[in-house]
Structure formats: C-alpha cells, structure tokens
Structure 1
C-alpha cells in the first residue's frame, strides 16, 4: 500500500539555505587557497587597515585581482571592511588560522585540496560510469600540497608529540637504529628524523619518481648522509628482519594492495621492532561517522583521490575512510598481534597505531 508523503515547506527552506551555504563555502575554499598561495593572508596580517592598492603593492600583486579577492573575503566574513575609509583588515583571531605564522593551526593549506581535486573532476565523472580510477600522474600539485599540509601537522609534531607515543623510541633513535618510511612522498618526515638523530640510518620508499627526486634533493641540500630514498612499489619490496622502526604516514589506505604492503612491513620489521602507522581517524561504517567534524571533506578526498588512485592500479580501493575497524582487521591478517591506537589532543584528523609483532 502506497503512502502519501507531505511536503514540509519549512524543511525545504532550511535545505535551500544549506545548499546556498555549500555554494558560498565551496567558493570561499578556492579563494582561501588563492590567498594562501599568493601570501595575501600573510601580507594582511602584517598591515594595519589598508586599501586594496596598498595591499596589492605590499604583496607585489595586481590590484584588480586583489580587490576582487577581497570582495569574496569581506562578503564571506573572513576579512573586515571599513566602507568609509575603503580599507581592509584581517583580524588577529582570523590570522591565527590563516597564516604561516600560525604553524599547525594554519588551515589555509588544506583548502588547496579543493582546487587540486577539481582538476580531475571530469575524469572522476567518467569513472562513475566506466569504473577504473584516476592515476597519480593526473594530480599535478597533490604531492606538493600534501607535503605542505603534513609538514605543519605530522612533521612539526614528530619530536614533541608523535615519537613519545612509543616508549623508548627516542632513546633508541639517539643510540642508532634502522628506520624505513614506506610511501614517504617527498620525504619530509624521514628527513626530519634523519636531522634529529644522526646516529640512526633512514630509508624512504615511494612509487613517485617526482617525489623521490624532491626528497633526495632536499636531503642533499641539508648534507644528510644517513638517509636514502628509492623509487619502489611498497607491494613489491622484499626484506626480512631489517628495521627496528617502520613508519607510514597517511599512506596505507592509498595502496593498490594494502594487505600485501602490511605483510611486507611485517616481514621487514625485526622481531623486537615497532611499526608506527599514522592514518585517518574514522570509523569503517558510515553511520558511525555522522558526528565526525570533517567527514564530508574526507569522503570527498577519498572519492576524488585516495580511493581512485588505488582503483586505477587495479587495487582494493580502501579509501580515506577505511576506518579503525578495517585497519585493525588488516593488521591482524598481516600477522601483527599487538596493536595500540592512540590519538593526539591537537590532532582531530589522525589515529596513530603502535604496532608490534609480539
């Protein structure tokens, strides 16, 4: 028996307002990315209330473009405007989350993902009807943006927050151990560790030749002789009982064969070694992510990058939101018998898995 559903005009009006908010916020994400890349937020943070021409001159930019960008910032309530003086001002309460001086609190770099993902929208739409995926090679700035974002969240927190999650590891690193970073990207994390602990030896593996070239160049510039980078598929490396510490930073869920990668890590880890897996904080079941503060963003990143790059290689397509339950299952299947999941108070996006063989 069919039931007649009534149309709730109030609910429809609320939903319309929500969609309008989505459109405005989506547009602002692009403008925040532009403001970050052009250093306009950093310029404004150093200026008193200023005209568009003064801002453009200080930043070395074209005034007409700066003025239109400021229009988006003012109407989006990110920047204050004095109509009498025609001056613009970035309040300190806003600059604390939009400028490089904000450190790990700077949210502007993350906005870049919206524009980066937008460049592959046509190809993702094709995948919806044809299947398959979009390979890494189609993402022109992804490694660059990822390196910047992880640099202020993971790399900056390594010494003070992340390493202390593993009892005794800093002392072991200071004495000298073998460390491998699987899926190292541009090598920011492992290079930082190599700087901090010169008595230890470090290796970084990544499938991207561009990322490895950048990592190698940076290590050479810093004159580090205790770190080496190699182009290597994490699903094919075959080493046994070699490393005291193996790390993966936001890398496992992207893999075409994450199960094989975890098995390889298990094999390469010494019996007394530790595997540190940093990955996205989420639940496997979508209903358990309803209260996650950035779940829509993370599912979008998954659909338009993490899941699809895996599927492009004929992979499992775990996606960004594979969740703790799936992660723990796969770690157990790989042979790991002892796993602790830890979080950092300042880091709402990540879980830290402290993993041992025994």
Structure 2
C-alpha cells in the first residue's frame, strides 16, 4: 500500500481556516454582547465618535466599551480613525446588526453561542454516558428563542405566513378555535389574538417560565380571547376541539414527537388545518451540504434540541430531522397530504400545511 502524500498547501489552508474559526467564534460572543448592550444600535445613530462618547451615549463603562471596540475594529465590523481616535459603524454593516432593521438583523442569533456554551460540560458528559441535558439547565434560552421567533415568525405572521393558507385570514376574522402547541413565550399567539378578536386562542407549553411570560403579556395587552396553560404536548387528549393548530419550531425537540403529532391530529375538527413551522433541512446529512447555516443548526441540535429530548427519555430527533422524516411522521399521525412551503425572506424554515380529512 503506497504511503499517502502529505499535501502541505492543503494543510496550511486548513490551519488558516482553524484560525478564522477561532476569531469568528470570539466575534460571535462580542456580537452577542454588542446586541444585548445595544452598542450596535447606539453606534448606528452616531457620527464618528470616541470610545468615551460611545460609552456615554450607551450608558456603559468606557473601559469595557473600548475593549469591545478593539474586537469590532480588528474584526472589520467597525471603522477606526487612528488620528482622531474615533469609531464608526458603516450603514452597510448596521443593516444586519441593529434593531432598526429587525427583519435583517443577524446579531440576535449569535446569543445562541454563549447560551449553548453554558452547558458544554454537561454535553461532554453525555458524549461519554449518553442521556441528555434538561430544559432547566439552559439559562436565557426561552428569552433568546422568543427574540428569534419575534423576527422569523411573529413579524411575518400577518403578511407572509397566514396567506400561505387560502381563506385562513377570513376564517380567523369570522371566528375559529386555535391551539398553539409548544407556544413558548406566546408572542405569536398573543399577536394573533390581538389581530383577530372574534377567534379563540389557547397556548400549551411545558415551561412554567414561558407560560408565565405569555400570560403576563396577554394581560398587559388586555386580551380576553386567549388562555395559556402549562401542559406536556404528549399528554393532552382533546378530541375534535380546534379548527386550526399551529406549532412553531416546537415538534423536533419533543420527547415523543410521534405522540404529539397524533394528539394534534385527534384534536383537530374534520377539515381542520395543521400548520407546522420547522427547520428547513434534509433528513440525510448529504442533502445539507449546501445549506448556508447547516453547521450552526447541527450545533444547536446537538447541544439543545436533541439532548433535551433525550433527557426526557425521548426520541432525540434533533433540529435537523429533515423534510423526509417530518413527512413520514405526519403521515403516520394521519395527515396523508402535506404541502411544504417556504418564505422568500426566511432561509432556514419550512412551513408544512396539512388538513384533517
């Protein structure tokens, strides 16, 4: 057997890639901090300014702001004038980093890196021993997910998502019964309840914290056509009670997604509609080679979606369960005809639309 030739150019290229990964990983943490402290929002409204001027405008400590700016300058996010010692965020960068452009703001997603980092030790233990890490171990996860959902789902509900289903907006205006399974902090459902006062809305989620947040928001908005309950989606056993059931990024991390889908089928009235939003992916990794954020999604899957399911003794499907597996499981639950749609502005979600016969 001939010895494999060591390709020095290939090795050096890979070494440079590793250095880039280290730098980009560090930048992800700093972008998260910039988002949470609203430093990007502050910079977007300032002309070239010193670190003290930026800190004063943001109400933050100058020494920390200056070090953060060092990362942003060397990472080519912020421009620096060495003569004036001023910093400036170009408008072209601000378009993807600030709350002023919510539909295009990528900065919130970097928060997942730091959130997942808090459970790295437990995940390493799972690699050795199996099992999983439960929801309770994740600090801020529901908060970050709510912000994610607000951008990808809530903001798109009225203009993009509801029109995917012919006649749905009109039905909601007239008045129907709606259930959101795995409703999280309830932002999507509360918005629907506000938009359609003649319809009746119910939200279920396993997290007491998320349900408390959802209920508080509903009360603050004066919504009387909505209720939230702490409930395991695998245990509710309602029969032909709802005209529309939705799940937004909620099925794949269930312990028993097969049971959840069966419960959803049973809870729908005849001709009732099930709308499932989930991650756009193929079931086989080979189908995800060109996916623009596949490494990111597999990481979230490994360090959250899959492991929280396994922690509950579940199937551990993970976020990247893919279209093929999703359609198979929907069919097994009784949904024989499934339409899959995508939104032009949303690169990482699929919308599954099916009706109970």
Structure 1 length-normalised TM: 0.99
Aligned to 2:45: 46
Q: How many residues align?
A: 357
Deviation at 1:202, TM superposition (A): 0.1
Q: Any residues of structure 2 matched to 1:219-230 within 5 Å, and which? A: 219-230=218-229
Deviation at 1:140, TM superposition (A): 1.2
Q: Any residues of structure 2 matched to 1:140-219 within 5 Å, and which? A: 140-219=139-218
- Unmatched segments (≥5 aa) in structure 2: none
The separation in 2 between residues aligned to 1:228 and 1:196, in whole angstroms, is 15
Aligned to 1:76: 75
Deviation at 1:316, TM superposition (A): 0.2
Cα displacement string for residues 305-350 of structure 1 (whole angstroms, at most 9, x for unaligned residues): 0000000000000001000000000000001111100000000010
The separation in 2 between residues aligned to 1:355 and 1:139, in whole angstroms, is 33
Q: Any residues of structure 2 matched to 1:117-156 within 5 Å, and which? A: 117-156=116-155
Cα displacement string for residues 113-165 of structure 1 (whole angstroms, at most 9, x for unaligned residues): 00000000000000000100000000010000000111011000000000000
Q: Which region of structure 1 is more displaced relative to structure 2, 49-58 or 2-11?
A: 2-11
Instruction: Give structure 1 regions of 4+ aligned residues with deviation exceeding 2 angstroms.
Output: none
Aligned to 2:338: 339
* 2:84 partner SS: coil
Q: Any residues of structure 2 matched to 1:205-284 within 5 Å, and which? A: 205-284=204-283
The separation in 2 between residues aligned to 1:203 and 1:288, in whole angstroms, is 36
Cα displacement string for residues 95-120 of structure 1 (whole angstroms, at most 9, x for unaligned residues): 00000011111111100000000000
Q: CA RMSD in A?
A: 0.5
Aligned to 1:12: 11
Deviation at 1:3, TM superposition (A): 3.4
Structure 2 length-normalised TM: 0.99
Aligned to 2:60: 61
Cα displacement string for residues 1-30 of structure 1 (whole angstroms, at most 9, x for unaligned residues): x33111000000110011011000000000
